Amino acid sequence: MSDTPAVEVVDLHKRFGELEVLRGVSTRVDRGEVVSIIGASGSGKSTLLRCINYLEQPTSGEVRIEGEPVGFERRADGSTRRRSAREIARFRRELGMVFQQFNLWPHMTVLGNVIEAPIRVRGLSRRAALELGRACLDRVQLAEKANEYPARLSGGQQQRVAIARALAMQPKVMLFDEATSALDPELTGEVLEVMRGLATDGTTMIVVTHEMAFAREVSDRAIFLHNGLVEEEGAPAQVFGDPKSERCRQFLAKLLH
């Protein structure tokens, strides 16, 4: 069992009307691994991430969380059954997601944001959730902001709260969808610092990012997507230092200028 990947994506396709955004992506992410997904805008990075937790329903292909297909159930006789929205929601508990736009709930305090899902979805007691919530806020160094409303925080602080909110579900995998892209440059550091801390602690992470230095330094593996396909995949030193694919080379060269 221990070599079952945390996340496995098999021949994933996603089509929006005429536009095929993902054209057969396959990859796996092992437990404790940090995988960066890079690529030009429109290459399908965010769509891939959103298909993994079924915020977008894949057109075809499979997403497996610890070996279990998310979208359908495979019966003993080999037939398959599509899972209900409720069952898919259960898989999402295992996947913490951090969005580009933070998406904190403005009518709840910082602590309220963090404990909401643990109480309502996981069924934790308020007391246990408060304890967990404070621990998560501590981890992103915002314990002192617990009772503020999100509108009173800076963008970097809001994103750290969003990370704490995802952590509070104690997910098996954390998904980051361009977590620093909406931030002013001087605020990205604090968020990347938190993400680096999570990676060091052995959190399984899939990180869609434009922060090439971060991707190179922190991740165990990097994936370069181009036009909905994995164009290059490997150790960061290789992908960033000596890419085999000409397109990946061009993409990286453009970023350096």
Partner 1 sequence: MFSENLRETFNLALFWEYRHILLAGLAFNFYVFACSVGVSVVLGFLAALGRVNPLRPLRWLGAIHVETFRNAPDYVMLVWVHFVLPLLISQAIGQRVTFAPFVSAVIALGLVYSGYLAETFRAGIQAVPKGHIEAARACGMGGPLIMRRIILPQAVRMMLPEAMNNFVSLFKATTIVSLITVPDMMYNVSMVTQQEMRPLPLYTGAAITYFLIIWAVAGLARLASERWRRKIWA
Binding residues for partner 1, rule: CB under 8 A, are 53, 55, 85-86, 89-90, 92-93, 95-97, 99, 101, 103-107, 116-117, 120-121, 149, 151-152, 162, 165-166, 169
Alpha-carbon gap, residue 70 to 65, rounded angstroms: 7
Nearer to partner 1, 133 or 236 (CB): 133
Nearer to partner 1, 66 or 217 (CB): 66
C-beta of residue 105 within 8 angstroms of C-beta of residue 116: yes
User: Which ranges of 121-245 would DSSP assign to H, the alpha helix?
Assistant: 126-139, 155-167, 185-200, 212-218, 236-241
Evaluated on CA atoms 17, 82, 7, 140, the torsion sign reads positive
Shortest distance, position 76 Cβ to partner 1, whole Å: 27
Shortest distance, position 230 Cβ to partner 1, whole Å: 24
Shortest distance, position 208 Cβ to partner 1, whole Å: 14
Shortest distance, position 154 Cβ to partner 1, whole Å: 13
Nearer to partner 1, 39 or 96 (CB): 96
Alpha-carbon gap, residue 136 to 129, rounded angstroms: 10
Nearer to partner 1, 79 or 84 (CB): 84
Nearer to partner 1, 99 or 224 (CB): 99
Nearer to partner 1, 29 or 114 (CB): 114
Shortest distance, position 173 Cβ to partner 1, whole Å: 12
C-beta of residue 30 within 8 angstroms of C-beta of residue 205: no
Alpha-carbon gap, residue 70 to 1, rounded angstroms: 18
Shortest distance, position 102 Cβ to partner 1, whole Å: 8
C-beta of residue 119 within 8 angstroms of C-beta of residue 126: yes
Shortest distance, position 151 Cβ to partner 1, whole Å: 4
Neighbours of 210 (CB within 10 A): 16
Q: Is 91 exposed, middle or buried, given 0-12, 13-18 or 19+ CB atoms closer than 10 A?
A: buried
Residue 123 structure tokens? 């069924």
Q: Is 160 exposed, middle or buried, given 0-12, 13-18 or 19+ CB atoms closer than 10 A?
A: buried
Nearer to partner 1, 116 or 193 (CB): 116
